[in-house]
Amino acid sequence: MNEPQYNVSAIDASGCISNGWEMIKPNYWLYFGVSIVTLLMISCIPCVNIFIAGPVMGGVYLIYLKAMRNEAVDFGMMFKGFEKFVPLMIVGIVQSIPEVIAQVFRFSVDVGRIGLTNGSRQMGDTGFAIASGVMIMAVVVGLVFVLIAAVWRILLMFAVPLVMEFDLSPIEAMKLSARAATSNIGGLILLLILEFLISLLGFVAICVGFFFVLPIIYAANAFAYRQVFPWVERNFQNVPPPPGTYDGGFGRGM
């Protein structure tokens, strides 16, 4: 099939947020339930979550994209992503690479901090200076890594819905996502900033408020994807019409 075409500089960040809320508002608790189950599956199942994150998010995108076309949606659709398990699993694993590295780095820092703390007590001021320098370096490396992880997330943001909507391989979907994201980088950055602020407000609301704004964030991401990759009806007539359908007279009597 032909590669899906994408729009350039097409993302209206605030529009994604407002349109997402208006779409889910009439049936909010369905989207809330989907969001909670999604969060539990991709965050609270150690080891397994890295393999199912892609398929789970594929089902989530399917629900939101169907709702945008005014099609009926139900809770069970969130598991439709498992019908494309292997390609979505691969995309999910690649997307989670920064998270895995961050976990390893955090564990290493914690172990090193314990060792340096014990060592500095024995070495006095010199040991304390060494420990402080190492911790400062760890903070700097951590900040750089956060920036890299944010860029990684932006580049691969459209890969999962691309696999769900089109018969693309994981590599094709990720490459196309990176090109489309780069062509819409300003809108995506603004969207992530707005989503961060919304999440922050959720945490301020006794922390649990984050769970209630999560459906809005998922909806906003789906709208951003649709603005970049507009829906094109693909049920074209492939069978030629029978002779005489258009009642043309050209060639008669020859």
142-187 pLDDT, tens digit per residue, is 777 778 888 999 999 999 999 999 989 999 999 999 999 999 999 9
User: Taking a C-beta distance cutoff of 8 angstroms, is the pair 50, 100 a contact?
Assistant: yes
- Which pLDDT value is given to residue 129? 63
Nearest to 99 by CA among 153, 45, 61, 166: 153
31-51 pLDDT, tens digit per residue, is 999 999 999 998 877 778 899
Planar angle of CA 207, 210, 215, nearest 5 degrees: 165
How large is the average pLDDT for residues 113-118? 58
Domain ranges of the chain: 13-228
Write out the chain in H/E/C secondary structure.
CCCCCCCCCCCCHHHHHHHHHHHHHHHHHHHHHHHHHHHHHHHCCCCCHHHHHHHHHHHHHHHHHHHHCCCCCCHHHHHHHHHHHHHHHHHHHHHCHHHHHHHHHHHHHHHHHHHHHHHHHHHCHHHHHHHHHHHHHHHHHHHHHHHHHHHHHHHCCCHHHHHHHCCCCHHHHHHHHHHHHHCCHHHHHHHHHHHHHHHHHHHHCCCCHHHHHHHHHHHHHHHHHHHHCCCCCCCCCCCCCCCCCCCCCCCCCC
Position 126 confidence tier, pLDDT thresholds 50, 70, 90: low
The pTM of the full predicted model, rounded to 2 decimals, is 0.80
- Which pLDDT value is given to residue 144? 79
- Which pLDDT value is given to residue 9? 94
